[in-house]
Chains A and B, each alone.
Chain A
Amino acid sequence: KNQVEQSPQSLIILEGKNCTLQCNYTVSPFSNLRWYKQDTGRGPVSLTIMTFSENTKSNGRYTATLDADTKQSSLHITASQLSDSASYICVVSPSMEYGNKLVFGAGTILRVKS
């Protein structure tokens, strides 16, 4: 069964600190992995997309890594800000095609406090 598991379920950090969120997946076949940020009551916003040949990709203070062999990904947030408080969702796509069914993780809820 295709699954995406994220850890931790929730996390509280102080403003300015770094943190790392984890994602393990069992999706097969595998095409690409995405990290989304979702603010409460809003739609998800894409942070990174990585194919199996990419090991790391950065978007500002967000850096995602991918190990396709162990089927693990991480999202590292540097110098956290209050605005980083959100749910971070790991999403795996089994295909390059447009309409394929993305497999969503349950998300990690991050709270950054001052």
Chain B
Amino acid sequence: DTEVTQTPKHLVMGMTNKKSLKCEQHMGHRAMYWYKQKAKKPPELMFVYSYEKLSINESVPSRFSPECPNSSLLNLHLHALQPEDSALYLCASSQILAGGPWEQFFGPGTRLTVL
């Protein structure tokens, strides 16, 4: 299984809502990533988890809260978002062993719209 799955595919939420994005992989990868991509722009790294621990936080606002409950799952909890947070949110995973370079496998993304 060389696939990263993300749910939901689309999400519309108000600025007072709380929602979560989910990501799952079964490739045995121990590094997982969240990216944000605005239209016609390249992806921007948000968070990196390695061995289920947060290793990189690219100064993301606290209204985005990541969680890695186990080695296969990655969540992104959303609360009090702003309209400018509307974007495609991509999850990715990769190997973490010495050597490399290790390919990052991306999921299909969740299209988020904040009203």
Contacts and interface: CB of A to CB of B under 8 A. Distances in A.
B90 interface: yes
Contacts of B109: 41-43
Interface of A: 31-32, 34, 36, 41-46, 49, 51, 89, 93, 96-99, 101-102, 104-107
B20 interface: no
A31 B96 CA distance: 16
B99 interface: yes
Interface of B: 4, 6, 31, 40-43, 45, 48, 50, 55-56, 58, 88, 90-92, 94-96, 99-109, 111
B99 to A, nearest CB: 7
A104 B101 contact: no
B45 A46 contact: no
A97 B31 CA distance: 11
Contact of B101 (A32, A44, A89, A105): A32
Chain A facing B: main interface SS: loop
A99 B101 CA distance: 11
A106 B50 contact: no
B45 A101 contact: yes
A25 to B, nearest CB: 13
B107 to A, nearest CB: 5
A101 B42 CA distance: 13
A105 B40 CA distance: 11
Contact of A98 (B58, B96, B105): B96
15 contacts: A31-B100, A41-B88, A41-B109, A42-B109, A43-B90, A43-B108, A43-B109, A93-B101, A97-B100, A98-B31, A98-B94, A98-B100, A99-B55, A102-B104, A106-B41
A31 B101 contact: yes
A41 B40 CA distance: 10
Given A46-B103, A89-B42, A98-B96, 4 more contacts: A44-B106, A46-B104, A49-B103, A99-B55
Q: Which 10 A-B pairs have the closest CB atoms?
A: A43-B106, A104-B42, A96-B100, A32-B101, A98-B31, A99-B48, A98-B96, A44-B106, A46-B103, A43-B108
